[in-house]
A and B are shown apart, each in its own frame.
Chain A
Amino acid sequence: MESEQLFHRGYYRNSYNSITSASSDEELLDGAGVIMDFQTSEDDNLLDGDTAVGTHYTMTNGGSINSSTHLLDLLDEPIPGVGTYDDFHTIDWVREKCKDRERHRRINSKKKESAWEMTKSLYDAWSGWLVVTLTGLASGALAGLIDIAADWMTDLKEGICLSALWYNHEQCCWGSNETTFEERDKCPQWKTWAELIIGQAEGPGSYIMNYIMYIFWALSFAFLAVSLVKVFAPYACGSGIPEIKTILSGFIIRGYLGKWTLMIKTVTLVLAVASGLSLGKEGPLVHVACCCGNIFSYLFPKYSTNEAKKREVLSAASAAGVSVAFGAPIGGVLFSLEEVSYYFPLKTLWRSFFAALVAAFVLRSINPFGNSRLVLFYVEYHTPWYLFELFPFILLGVFGGLWGAFFIRANIAWCRRRKSTKFGKYPVLEVIIVAAITAVIAFPNPYTRLNTSELIKELFTDCGPLESSSLCDYRNDMNASKIVDDIPDRPAGIGVYSAIWQLCLALIFKIIMTVFTFGIKVPSGLFIPSMAIGAIAGRIVGIAVEQLAYYHHDWFIFKEWCEVGADCITPGLYAMVGAAACLGGVTRMTVSLVVIVFELTGGLEYIVPLMAAVMTSKWVGDAFGREGIYEAHIRLNGYPFLDAKEEFTHTTLAADVMRPRRNDPPLAVLTQDNMTVDDIENMINETSYNGFPVIMSKESQRLVGFALRRDLTIAIESARKKQEGIVGSSRVCFAQHTPSLPAESPRPLKLRSILDMSPFTVTDHTPMEIVVDIFRKLGLRQCLVTHNGIVLGIITKKNILEHLEQLKQHVDPLTPPWHYHKKRYPPSYGPDGKPRPRFNNVQLNPIDEEREETEEEVHLLNSTTL
């Protein structure tokens, strides 16, 4: 009973089994102007001609019941494997949710029976919270490990702590009293490679030695990272967010969130960050957290057996990932809601919140940076901002939008090149070359030599009297009576000007390198390089505005609020706004991004500037192309992702999209009870469809249900193994009652338990906007198109995606298609007034559209149907 309960009970209990009802159906159809011809055409190979047309069958409540009850008992237990999915397939959210509700009902009804059942139901109720707790703990701990190890390895490029090898530069000089005000990071314990190898700390010789060692370490880290990825877990490369988005929308990529991927991603992420490539660890941390979520969900049957429920855990896990990546728990929850999740009920919101909390707590208790913060570049400002400053903030927003648009175009073009040409065959070489170029160019410039997070920290930090970096080399007017917190605007010194030059060079370098880095076969995130670019631009603008205000404080825009000797411009704030704008331009996030950035700064008063910049950058970016970098990569890879944000504005009908098309072979259908096991196996072998509609009989093409290919294969295989008497010529029966069979015929195989008896159907005249909406909101996998209860065709998610792609390329959305102007014809007639061709009594679609999708975009779609 159980397995049958999984599918929708009793919908078709009284199936139309009598010949009388079938004939009345036909009359009904004729009345509707449909001409039925019953001749089996020669290409009717699906049904294998040998089954007699119009078999007379009756309800079998009496005679053959004995044999069938025996079989029914065998089928009481669900066949293992039925209801699971193949690799690169789309899940059926509706079916998964039904399965879960059924399971829940079962546990609830048993609850009262015994204490043990009660415990089990409690365990079941709590398992959701338990799994997100474990996920949060694990992702916090892993983030701590990654942070500490990456810091250490980054500093390894430069030198080593002789007194304790496991300390990074900062930790090495932790207790040292030898540091001076000017050279804060020098201490005798920390040895650069030049000091160790050639024994001198200064001079051109040591510079060259350090240069060589820097390149050597960068190359070896990059090589190790890419070879580990290549040998153990190819899925560990890249940022992972496009794939996680796709997985959360209901796609299966086996092994993408597995143990090896987790381990290799964690290990190589450290190497990739340490190699000095222009990449960040934030995006991959989301992937790491999702791996944790997936692995822990295997401990709980509630989540391991149900793909839809597992995705709720993954949503929570991605929130935990961002929470630890940016130290922004609330921002993480919003990120999960805005950017990655597809199905996000309130329950998931709370669990995400909790997971983010746990993860942030764990990371905080590890305290990886020694600053009691979750991120390196945490800053605190207290200076107010003025209305005029919105203008440079919006300018930064424009810059961010332009950068985002440019980056997406350039990166996608480069990735397409990698995907389609021979150049993609050498991933290891590519990584090595990119790493070598990065290292060679990065070392001479102090701002690119730094770890990117450190660079962002330096750019965010405002110049107090305590700062010693050249960015803060202002000419002081030694007016020694002022208090620390309120430094007036000062004229820039020579150090600031040289720093600006270096920053300009760093900006160009970062822009170019990031385009070529994102997408190479090591774990690589995009957040940190984008933020760095924005922060550099913002800091330059900030210093410019500051100097403008200093030299022209009598201009009317400054006169009101910026008096001589007042501190009115904070360049660090500009850097922060610029970082947010650039990140917004690339990812097109808004709310979550602003929340993440203000959680970074702990200053609520900067929300308005941030909002203005992020909104501007989104507008500017959207003017050049509506999709963010993640959607662009999803489209590039051809993942079956139905974006909920896009609107469908076309006026096509379901009949225009459904398969089969006119020139295609007829729709492969199963009949309810007159096919043999061999017939079905032949059909499975000959076609590559992932599911077959089951109809009553060939004469009456009424829909009974839908059977999935995988379920059919598994069920037949297990029946051949376990049930005796199942041979190739056994009848397969999807109906509730087996038809009466000749006495000598083999025992029939009942497969009603794998039949989905409430498949989603639409009529052929349903507008596509509604169909697309149904697919998006319910997460359907396929949908059958019927006319008067007769199956005409099928629409799968893939078909819809192809259709969208086609419309995007060929049709102006505002021009209505042909059938808007012409007289409407009944579906059995084509637009030319002639009857449509028909095969196997299934109406086919006359629209002959050229299928010219770019090959790579449907590449995956072709291999992954449904």
Chain B
Amino acid sequence: MASLCGGLPRLGSVLSLSCLALSALVQLTDAAKNFEDVRCKCICPPYKENPGHIYNKNISQKDCDCLHVVDPMPVLGPDVEAYCLRCECKYEERSSVTIKVTIIIYLSILGLLLLYMVYLTLVEPILKRRLFGHSQLIQSDDDVGDHQPFANAHDVLARSRSRPNVLNKVEYAQQRWKLQVQEQRKSVFDRHVVLS
């Protein structure tokens, strides 16, 4: 019951979030219907002495045919129909805003992850070394043979459990996650019990 009551507001928040995302998407697609996001592309193969050519025009879907797009027409009078029969015209749409937003979101997530990775693998061990001195370093090096990130998660976990406040809770959650990842890493890379 409690979990149901807990579930409802959480569901509500997720729904409202997805509504927001959806409306943003709709706006994006509206904005995306701008001029340069549609094209009518006609590919015309070589015909008589004319070489093959590609025509490209921003034009609405109903006008997307050879007669509207091929301009100037390379052939005259009676040949126009024959020429146009060979051309293939395709109407295409894209959403440049979606592409832009997607790439930006993707790159920012990737960048954040890389920063965090660099922090965890390079910066944090150095900080720890400064803070806790030399003795612990030796100890943690003994624990894990090669240089593994999160090597001292156990210690921190034990320490942070003793003094509960908000900051420690965050740290506790983070350390728990680190332990889980360490466990996963052991089972995948060292023991090879899963995913090999």
Contact B56 A427 (CB under 8 A): no
Q: How far is the CA of A4 from the CA of B188 in the complex (A)?
A: 39
Contact B192 A419 (CB under 8 A): yes
The answer, yes or no, to whether B104 is at the interface (CB within 8 Å) is: yes
Q: How far is the CA of A415 from the CA of B195 in the complex (A)?
A: 10
User: Which of B3, B18, B44, B46 is within 8 Å of A304, CB to CB?
Assistant: B3
Contacts of A491 in B (CB 8 A): none
The answer, yes or no, to whether B11 is at the interface (CB within 8 Å) is: yes
Name the distance in Å between B98's Cβ and chain A's nearest Cβ. Answer: 6
User: Which of A123, A304, A468, A521 is within 8 Å of B8, CB to CB?
Assistant: A123
Name the distance in Å between A602's Cβ and chain B's nearest Cβ. Answer: 16
Q: How far is the CA of A305 from the CA of B6 in the complex (A)?
A: 13
The answer, yes or no, to whether A367 is at the interface (CB within 8 Å) is: yes
Q: A180-B53, A267-B113 are in contact. Are A233 and B92 (CB under 8 A)?
A: no
Contacts of B120 in A (CB 8 A): 231
Contact B7 A175 (CB under 8 A): no
- Interface secondary structure of B, over-half rule: helix
Name the distance in Å between A497's Cβ and chain B's nearest Cβ. Answer: 22
Contact B95 A367 (CB under 8 A): yes
Of A254, A255, A301, A637, chain B has the most CB atoms within 10 Å of the CB of: A301
Contact A243 B43 (CB under 8 A): no
Of B54, B56, B103, B196, chain A has the most CB atoms within 10 Å of the CB of: B196
Name the distance in Å between A434's Cβ and chain B's nearest Cβ. Answer: 15
| Interface residue ranges of B1-33 to A (CB < 8 Å) | 3-4, 7-8, 10-11, 14, 18, 25, 29
The answer, yes or no, to whether B149 is at the interface (CB within 8 Å) is: yes
As a 0/1 sequence over residues 56 to 83 of chain B, the CB contacts with chain A under 8 angstroms (1 = contact) are 1010000000000000000000000000
Contacts of A267 in B (CB 8 A): 106, 109-110, 113
Chain B: how many interface residues by the 8 Å CB criterion? 63
Of A134, A167, A235, chain B has the most CB atoms within 10 Å of the CB of: A235
User: Which of A370, A418, A424, A863 is within 8 Å of B92, CB to CB?
Assistant: A370
Closest to A148 in B: B102
The answer, yes or no, to whether A160 is at the interface (CB within 8 Å) is: no
Name the distance in Å between B151's Cβ and chain A's nearest Cβ. Answer: 12
Name the distance in Å between A843's Cβ and chain B's nearest Cβ. Answer: 34
As a 0/1 sequence over residues 85 to 101 of chain B, the CB contacts with chain A under 8 angstroms (1 = contact) are 11010001111101110
Name the distance in Å between A684's Cβ and chain B's nearest Cβ. Answer: 22
User: Which of A175, A180, A234, A639 is within 8 Å of B185, CB to CB?
Assistant: A234
Contact A227 B117 (CB under 8 A): yes
Contact B117 A145 (CB under 8 A): no
Of B29, B36, B106, B114, chain A has the most CB atoms within 10 Å of the CB of: B106
Contact A253 B93 (CB under 8 A): no
Q: How far is the CA of A145 from the CA of B108 in the complex (A)?
A: 13
| Interface residue ranges of B126-151 to A (CB < 8 Å) | 149
Name the distance in Å between A511's Cβ and chain B's nearest Cβ. Answer: 22
| Interface residue ranges of A840-865 to B (CB < 8 Å) | 859-860, 863
Closest to A427 in B: B189
Contact A171 B99 (CB under 8 A): yes
Name the distance in Å between A508's Cβ and chain B's nearest Cβ. Answer: 26
Contact B10 A299 (CB under 8 A): yes
Name the distance in Å between B125's Cβ and chain A's nearest Cβ. Answer: 13
Name the distance in Å between A375's Cβ and chain B's nearest Cβ. Answer: 16
The answer, yes or no, to whether B173 is at the interface (CB within 8 Å) is: no
User: Which of A152, A179, A860 is within 8 Å of B193, CB to CB?
Assistant: A860
Q: A145-B106, A171-B94 are in contact. Are A233 and B7 (CB under 8 A)?
A: no
Contacts of A370 in B (CB 8 A): 92-94
As a 0/1 sequence over residues 221 to 234 of chain A, the CB contacts with chain B under 8 angstroms (1 = contact) are 00010011011111
Contact A260 B181 (CB under 8 A): yes
Contact A175 B18 (CB under 8 A): no
Closest to A366 in B: B98
The answer, yes or no, to whether A743 is at the interface (CB within 8 Å) is: no
Q: How far is the CA of A699 from the CA of B112 in the complex (A)?
A: 66
Q: How far is the CA of A466 from the CA of B66 in the complex (A)?
A: 14
The answer, yes or no, to whether B194 is at the interface (CB within 8 Å) is: yes
As a 0/1 sequence over residues 158 to 195 of chain B, the CB contacts with chain A under 8 angstroms (1 = contact) are 00000000000000000001001100110111101111
Q: A167-B99, A233-B181, A483-B85 are in contact. Are A137 and B18 (CB under 8 A)?
A: yes
| Interface residue ranges of A470-498 to B (CB < 8 Å) | 480, 483-484
Q: How far is the CA of A176 from the CA of B54 in the complex (A)?
A: 10
Contacts of A863 in B (CB 8 A): 193
User: Which of B36, B43, B106 is within 8 Å of A175, CB to CB?
Assistant: B36
Contact A233 B93 (CB under 8 A): no
The answer, yes or no, to whether A120 is at the interface (CB within 8 Å) is: yes
Name the distance in Å between A811's Cβ and chain B's nearest Cβ. Answer: 28
As a 0/1 sequence over residues 159 to 174 of chain A, the CB contacts with chain B under 8 angstroms (1 = contact) are 0000011110001001
Q: A175-B56, A367-B93 are in contact. Are A424 and B102 (CB under 8 A)?
A: no
Q: How far is the CA of A237 from the CA of B187 in the complex (A)?
A: 13
Contact B184 A175 (CB under 8 A): no
Contact B14 A231 (CB under 8 A): no
User: Which of A144, A165, A484, A860 is within 8 Å of B85, CB to CB?
Assistant: A484
Contacts of B106 in A (CB 8 A): 145, 148-149, 267, 270
Q: How far is the CA of A425 from the CA of B191 in the complex (A)?
A: 10
Contacts of A824 in B (CB 8 A): none
Q: How far is the CA of A230 from the CA of B195 in the complex (A)?
A: 13
Q: How far is the CA of A267 from the CA of B193 in the complex (A)?
A: 24
Q: How far is the CA of A582 from the CA of B129 in the complex (A)?
A: 54
Contacts of B104 in A (CB 8 A): 166
Q: How far is the CA of A175 from the CA of B39 in the complex (A)?
A: 7
Contact B117 A148 (CB under 8 A): no
Contact A253 B194 (CB under 8 A): yes
Q: A234-B188, A466-B45, A484-B85 are in contact. Are A134 and B18 (CB under 8 A)?
A: yes
Closest to B116 in A: A232
Contacts of A270 in B (CB 8 A): 106
Q: How far is the CA of A164 from the CA of B99 in the complex (A)?
A: 11
The answer, yes or no, to whether B156 is at the interface (CB within 8 Å) is: no
Contacts of A415 in B (CB 8 A): 196
Name the distance in Å between B170's Cβ and chain A's nearest Cβ. Answer: 16
Contact A299 B3 (CB under 8 A): no
Contacts of B187 in A (CB 8 A): 234
Q: How far is the CA of A260 from the CA of B193 in the complex (A)?
A: 20
Name the distance in Å between A150's Cβ and chain B's nearest Cβ. Answer: 10
Name the distance in Å between A420's Cβ and chain B's nearest Cβ. Answer: 8
Contacts of B51 in A (CB 8 A): 181
Contacts of B123 in A (CB 8 A): none
Name the distance in Å between B107's Cβ and chain A's nearest Cβ. Answer: 8
Of B56, B190, B192, chain A has the most CB atoms within 10 Å of the CB of: B192
Contacts of A418 in B (CB 8 A): 192, 196
Q: A175-B58, A267-B109 are in contact. Are A149 and B102 (CB under 8 A)?
A: yes
User: Which of A177, A227, A367 is within 8 Å of B56, CB to CB?
Assistant: A177
Name the distance in Å between A521's Cβ and chain B's nearest Cβ. Answer: 7
Contacts of A149 in B (CB 8 A): 102-103, 106
Q: How far is the CA of A267 from the CA of B112 in the complex (A)?
A: 11
Contact B94 A243 (CB under 8 A): no
Contacts of A230 in B (CB 8 A): 185, 189
Contact B102 A145 (CB under 8 A): yes
The answer, yes or no, to whether A519 is at the interface (CB within 8 Å) is: yes
Further pairs besides A175-B58, A181-B53: 18, Cβ < 8 Å: A130-B11, A134-B18, A152-B99, A166-B103, A181-B54, A228-B113, A231-B117, A232-B181, A234-B187, A234-B189, A235-B195, A263-B113, A270-B106, A304-B7, A305-B3, A365-B29, A366-B98, A427-B189
List 29 contacting pairs A-B, 8 Å CB cutoff, sorted by A.
A123-B8, A134-B18, A164-B96, A164-B100, A166-B100, A167-B96, A171-B96, A175-B36, A180-B54, A181-B45, A184-B54, A230-B185, A267-B110, A299-B10, A301-B7, A366-B98, A370-B92, A370-B93, A370-B94, A419-B196, A420-B192, A424-B192, A424-B196, A425-B189, A480-B48, A484-B45, A484-B88, A638-B193, A639-B194
Pick the 8 closest A-B CB pairs, nearest first: A181-B52, A166-B103, A234-B188, A370-B94, A465-B45, A419-B196, A301-B3, A149-B106
